[in-house]
């Protein structure tokens, strides 16, 4: 059933990683990505991998879940690897046949690039696995707050995002209902080629759109009735608050980046 | 008692429509009363409801909420803070992903301090008996529960009056009972003015005052006990009467002398018992 789809792939839990403020996790993810792209030497890479491994262990997210999240990207990883393998020129020739030559440097770059992409995805997966979509939205709104000064509608964007999240299950339920109704009238959603299937979706999409617009209109009226007048003067019941663990986590993140830069300078 | 809502020659014509939907309503609503507005489809009852907190602005005439004219832009927030509105479709008025976050939405808009919001949210959810569901996702609740969450969302703003626009139209009988019990209790115990717009006669039985609307005007105005016995007039407005009145009306036409104003099930049963109970 469509209803069983879980959203945002959030795995609820009560570990240290789950309890961190969403802002901390967002900043840590950025630091982690920066460190990942700064690391060009073995020691740097090892440090980044260590950081991710410890985070995963602390979050008690199963490695299997992270690996299954990586699966859709396997082709991109492979292509990147193969291209780097063939196109990197170096000094230590390994194999040479016809017009293709593979160098030792190519093998090295291929492995590093593949690893880099996988680590990048694994890190962001850990963020969405341990932070509910709503917390993420709140965190983003709070972090982007300074942009309000240059007239970026931060509050409105965050509100749109959280309303979208709120209505996804409602609209999925409705899609289910319309599908059943159309099936009862003889509609066929399963058979036929790509174009036939796309055509079959039309009688599903039109009522769904009409109803979505009606819902949007009613919701806007209801929100106005509840004194909604934009972000100005609005307070929040649940305040985000940075605890000591957040500052410690950020300090660890900064240390990670500093060490990776140091290793790069030293060229170890 | 003081007047909380007053309409003066309220006329409203929808854009593009030829005839006005509301034809010059003069209405005064006392604070603390439970008013039911009854009317068939197209009688203008929902249009009237939408005027009471400034969703619609009169084409001519005025609507005064606690003395404030709803047509004046700067009054709008205060008007909506005084008169809360609950709509028909519970799904389309819930904003947040978590029950308690949704209830907090109104007070957050009013800029109330976080700790006070927390207290109001807990009080409001307790008051509609949904406290144990505070961390649930709204789409997993039943229709009646969702509607009670919507009522809590309004309660948390501490309005003096709540307008409910056909709040039970999309609910099953159980959900309808839950919602009715809740609003009756809010009126009786917390003294909140309730204006219930409906086309179910049964829902009007507990009201202090009943307004019957037809063709954009107020046809009858009085207590349910005064109005429901006027069966012929009610039917002329394309409305029925509660099953209790209908039963006694039918019996009276067969020559019995039963009181038509016994409108609650209990009163009706007692009246029947008095008339037939001891003639075995």
Percent of chain A with pLDDT over 90: 19
- Give the list of residues 6+ apart from residue B133 with CB closer than 8 angstroms, or none: B99, B125, B141, B145, B149
Of B92, B100, B106, the CB nearest to A215: B92
Angle between helices A104-130 and A22-38 (to 10 degrees): 180
Does B236 have pLDDT greater than 70? yes
Closest to B62 in 3D by CA, of B29, B35, B37, B26 = B26
Q: Enter the ipTM.
A: 0.86
Query: Distance (Å) from the C-alpha of residue A185 to the closest C-alpha of chain B?
Result: 24
Quote the pLDDT of residue B209.
Answer: 94
Positive or negative, the CA dihedral A41, A44, A48, A51 is positive
Q: Specify the DSSP class assigned to residue A2.
A: G
Binary contact (A222, B93; C-beta < 8 A): yes
The domains of chain B are located at 3-224
Distances A208 to A189, A193, A200, A218, B177 between C-alpha atoms, Å: 15, 23, 14, 15, 31
Q: Specify the DSSP class assigned to residue B26.
A: E
**CA-to-CA distance for A235 and A3, rounded, in angstroms?**
33
Residue that wins the pLDDT comparison between A187 and A21: A21
Quote the pLDDT of residue B279.
Answer: 53
CB contacts of B138 in chain A (<8 Å) are 166
- Model confidence band, residue B233 (pLDDT cutoffs 50, 70, 90): confident
Measured from the Cβ of residue B72, the count of other Cβ atoms closer than 10 Å reads: 12
- List, for residues B111-161, the tens digit of each pLDDT value: 999 999 999 999 999 999 999 998 888 888 999 999 999 999 999 999 999
B106 touches chain A (CB under 8 A): yes
**Chain B residue closest in CA terms to A132:** B97
The domains of chain A are located at 16-146+243-266, 167-225
B94 touches chain A (CB under 8 A): yes
**Chain B residue closest in CA terms to A213:** B92
Of A169, A215, A237, the CB nearest to B108: A237
What is residue B221's three-state secondary structure? Answer: strand
Closest to A24 in 3D by CA, of A181, A187, A262, A241 = A241
- Give the list of residues 6+ apart from residue A254 with CB closer than 8 angstroms, or none: A31
- List, for residues B20-79, the tens digit of each pLDDT value: 999 999 999 999 999 999 988 888 999 999 999 999 999 999 999 999 999 998 999 999
A244 touches chain B (CB under 8 A): no
Which site among A167, A215, A222, A236 would you substitute to test the B interface, given the most B Cβ atoms closer than 10 Å to its Cβ?
A222
B265 touches chain A (CB under 8 A): no
Query: Distance (Å) from the C-alpha of residue A212 to the closest C-alpha of chain B?
Result: 10
Taking only residues 166 to 205 of chain A, the set having a beta carbon closer than 8 angstroms to any beta carbon of chain B reads 166, 169-170, 173
Mean pLDDT check: name the lowest of A52-61, A63-72, A167-176. Answer: A63-72
- Give the list of residues 6+ apart from residue A4 with CB closer than 8 angstroms, or none: none
CATH no. of B3-224: 3.40.50.300
Query: Distance (Å) from the C-alpha of residue A188 to the closest C-alpha of chain B?
Result: 28
Q: How many CB pairs under 8 A join A and B?
A: 93
Quote the pLDDT of residue B28.
Answer: 93
**Chain B residue closest in CA terms to A166:** B97
Mean pLDDT check: name the lowest of A144-148, A217-221, B64-68, B84-88. Answer: A144-148
CB contacts of B114 in chain A (<8 Å) are 235-239
Taking only residues 133 to 162 of chain B, the set having a beta carbon closer than 8 angstroms to any beta carbon of chain A reads 137-139, 153-154, 157
């Amino acid at each position: 059933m469509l209803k069983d789809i879980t959203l945002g792939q959030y795995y609820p839990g009560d570990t240290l990683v789950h309890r961190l403020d969403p802002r901390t996790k967002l900043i840590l993810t950025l630091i982690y990505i920066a460190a990942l792209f700064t690391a060009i030497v073995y020691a740097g890479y090892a440090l980044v991998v260590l950081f991710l491994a410890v985070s995963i262990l602390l979050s008690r997210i199963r490695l299997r879940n992270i690996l299954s999240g990586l699966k859709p990207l396997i082709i991109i990883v492979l292509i990147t690897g193969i291209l780097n393998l063939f196109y990197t020129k170096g000094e230590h020739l390994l194999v040479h046949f016809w017009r293709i030559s593979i160098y030792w440097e190519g093998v090295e770059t291929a492995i590093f690039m593949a690893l880099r992409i996988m680590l990048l995805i694994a890190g962001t997966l850990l963020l969405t696995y341990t932070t509910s979509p709503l917390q993420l939205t709140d965190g983003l709104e709070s972090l982007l707050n300074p942009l309000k000064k240059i007239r970026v509608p931060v509050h409105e964007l965050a509100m749109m995002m959280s309303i979208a999240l709120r209505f996804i299950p409602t609209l999925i339920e409705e899609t289910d209902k319309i599908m059943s109704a159309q099936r009862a009238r003889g509609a066929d959603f399963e058979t036929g080629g790509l174009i036939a299937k796309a055509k079959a979706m039309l009688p599903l999409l039109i009522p769904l759109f009409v109803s979505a617009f009606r819902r949007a209109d009613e919701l806007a009226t209801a929100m106005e009735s509840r004194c909604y007048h934009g972000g100005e003067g609005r307070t929040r019941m649940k305040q985000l608050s940075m605890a000591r663990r957040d500052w410690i986590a950020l300090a660890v993140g900064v240390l990670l980046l500093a060490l990776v830069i140091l290793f790069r300078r030293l060229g170890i | 008692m003081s007047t909380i809502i007053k309409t003066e020659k309220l006329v409203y014509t929808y854009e593009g429509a030829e005839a006005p939907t509301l034809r010059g309503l003069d209405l005064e609503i006392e604070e603390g009363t439970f008013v039911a507005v009854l009317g068939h489809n197209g009688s203008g009852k929902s249009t009237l409801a939408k005027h009471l907190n400034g969703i619609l602005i009169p084409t001519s005439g005025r609507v005064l909420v606690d003395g404030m004219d709803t047509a004046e832009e700067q009054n709008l927030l205060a008007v909506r803070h005084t008169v809360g509105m609950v709509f028909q479709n519970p799904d389309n008025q819930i904003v947040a992903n978590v029950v308690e976050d949704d209830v907090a939405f109104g007070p957050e808009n009013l800029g109330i301090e976080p700790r006070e919001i927390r207290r109001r949210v807990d009080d409001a959810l307790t008051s509609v008996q949904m406290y144990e569901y505070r961390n649930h996702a709204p789409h997993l609740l039943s229709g009646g529960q969702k509607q009670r969450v919507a009522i809590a969302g309004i309660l948390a703003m501490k309005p003096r009056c709540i307008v409910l626009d056909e709040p039970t139209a999309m609910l099953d009988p159980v959900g309808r009972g839950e919602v009715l019990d809740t609003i009756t209790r809010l009126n009786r115990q917390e003294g909140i003015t309730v204006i219930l717009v409906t086309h179910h006669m049964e829902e009007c039985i507990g009201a202090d005052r009943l307004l019957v609307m037809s063709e954009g005007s107020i046809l009858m105005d009085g207590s349910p006990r005064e109005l429901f016995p006027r069966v012929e007039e009610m039917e002329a407005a394309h409305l029925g009467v509660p099953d209790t009145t209908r039963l006694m009306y039918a019996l009276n036409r067969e020559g019995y002398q039963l009181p038509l104003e016994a409108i609650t099930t209990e009163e009706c049963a007692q009246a029947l018992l008095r008339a037939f109970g001891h003639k075995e």
